[in-house]
Structure 1
Amino acid sequence: MKENRIRKNAEFRRVYRKGKSFSNRLLVLYVYKNYILKDINRIGISVSKKVGKSVVRSRVKRLIGESYRLNSSNLKKGHDFVIIARTACNGKRYSDIEDSIKNLFNKAGLVIYDEKNIT
């Protein structure tokens, strides 16, 4: 999973600049079609200091990462995602974050539907 992360500032900037954004109350999702790595998705997670102190920010990052990991098999391949946590994420449960992420991927039209994963 670590090799599927967006880490460099230039990669984040490219997704922000050229990607399309979708948002809800808890999160903002930027999506950019990756024409080089067509068979994998990469994710970057950004949590501002406005969300809380380091313990809170780390927890939010872990919740977002775990929710993405468990739902990534249902997504179309070949995209870069940047997920930005809003201040409302502070104190939310895992189920709230997961519902928010599923909602954003549905808005973006990236969910692959079959008999197993109808949400």
Structure 2
Amino acid sequence: MLRLGMKKKYRIKKNEEFQQVFEHGVSMANRQFVVYMLDRPDQPYFRIGLSVSKKLGKAVVRNRIKRYIRQFFLEMKDQITEGKDYVIIARMPTSEMNYAEVKKSLLHVLRKIGALKQNI
């Protein structure tokens, strides 16, 4: 099966990798998202890990949120600083949001944490 979008190497999957980002990275939050960012100077690309709790809704809702976040990173990949790992934790309001709102909110929090190459 061909997967379009985010390739496997751009994702953080392993628990140890998540823990590293939580323990050694910096974090920034707004009402909808918490973003952890960890420097990986030896890595020529960025990776993202997603955490969407069951509190946010059933699988359909959680998968939609994850799709939106991955879509955002795909669209914005040229503006996002490479050589970093990002862990995005979705908070309650995201279950009610459409893609435009998710995009606006993620832009806001990534700008605050300094993950964007230039001010967009």
Note whether the superposition's TM-score is higher than 0.5.
Answer: yes
Q: Give CA deviations for 1:85-115 in whole Å, capped at 9, x if unaligned.
A: 00111120101100111111111112112xx
Q: What RMSD in Å do the two structures reach over aligned CA positions?
A: 1.1
Q: Which runs of 4 or more aligned residues in structure 1 lie more than 2 Å from their structure 2 counterparts after TM superposition?
A: none
Partner of 1:6: 12
Q: Give the unaligned 5+ runs of structure 1.
A: none
- Give 2:37's aligned amino acid: V
Partner of 2:3: none
Q: Give CA deviations for 1:63-93 in whole Å, capped at 9, x if unaligned.
A: 1110111112102210000000001111201
Match runs of 1:42-81 below 5 Å: 42-81=47-86
Normalised by the length of structure 1, the TM-score is 0.91
Could you tell me how far apart the structure 2 residues matched to 1:112 and 1:87 are?
28
Contact 1:68-1:101 at 8 Å conserved across structures: no
1:32 matched to 2:38 = yes
Secondary structure at the counterpart of residue 76 of structure 2: helix
Could you tell me how far apart the structure 2 residues matched to 1:68 and 1:47 are?
16
Partner of 2:46: 41
Secondary structure at the counterpart of residue 95 of structure 1: helix
Total equivalences in the alignment: 114
TM-aligned CA deviation for residue 36 of structure 1:
3.2
Q: Give the unaligned 5+ runs of structure 2.
A: 1-6
Normalised by the length of structure 2, the TM-score is 0.90
Could you tell me how far apart the structure 2 residues matched to 1:56 and 1:76 are?
29
Could you tell me how far apart the structure 2 residues matched to 1:62 and 1:11 are?
21
